[in-house]
Chains A and B, each alone.
Chain A
């Protein structure tokens, strides 16, 4: 079955840049999407189609994709950005819809 691999945790100091990666064999052909989930809350879409930002999402959130890796970048991380982040995509056939295992961003 298809898998997306994320690091379990990423620490960052306030104001610094955090980068969260997501690797998957089909990412050269399929878009990556990123969700933020704060403790006890529903997920929120922060990046779609690799690099597009939905309205209302701060500009410090950006996305990129190269080869088999997609990256979520938070430039100037804030304390309120502390959350779990999940990437989402599909396999090359589009039949398997999967989330990465999630990355806990700690801002301290």
Chain B
């Protein structure tokens, strides 16, 4: 059974940093692209970042470029999101998601339960 378990969320002041983790199990982690998707309170879903199987390609939504860094450790079956210079508008539940990417198709097939990040003074 595919399982994705996020951790690391919490309350942080504006300008602060936080590192999210996602522990994956039930599948061969190193075979898949992985992603972070977030959801602000009462709002819709927003894709945040993608990382290739070997970490050689990374992509970000414009609003987090230069502040967030996605990474992975395939020896630990873990995905990370380093978030720096946090802003109030980064407040959201952050979901880890397994990404399917083929020549013609790209989507998220499994999601974790999410971890809440609150940016407030």
Q: Which residues of A are at the interface with B, using a C-beta cutoff of 8 A?
A: 31, 33, 35, 37, 41-45, 48-49, 54, 86, 88, 90, 94, 97-102
The answer on a CB contact under 8 Å between A42 and B109 is no
Q: Which residues of B are at the interface with A, using a C-beta cutoff of 8 A?
A: 44-47, 50, 61, 95, 100, 104-114
A54 to B111, CA, bound (A): 14
The answer on a CB contact under 8 Å between B106 and A94 is yes
Instruction: Return the chain B residue nearest A84 by Cβ.
Output: B44
11 contacts between A and B (CB under 8 A): A35-B108, A42-B112, A42-B114, A45-B107, A45-B110, A48-B107, A49-B105, A97-B106, A99-B46, A100-B44, A102-B44
The answer on a CB contact under 8 Å between B45 and A42 is no
The 8 closest A-B pairs by CB, nearest first: A99-B45, A42-B111, A97-B47, A33-B107, A102-B44, A101-B44, A42-B113, A43-B111
List of B residues within 8 angstroms of A45 by Cβ: 107-110
Other than the given A43-B108, A98-B47, A102-B44, 19 more pairs (CB < 8 A) read A31-B104, A31-B105, A31-B107, A33-B107, A37-B45, A41-B113, A42-B112, A42-B113, A42-B114, A43-B111, A45-B110, A86-B45, A90-B106, A94-B106, A97-B61, A99-B45, A99-B46, A99-B47, A102-B45
The answer on a CB contact under 8 Å between B112 and A48 is no
Q: How far is the CB of B71 from chain A (nearest CB, A)?
A: 19
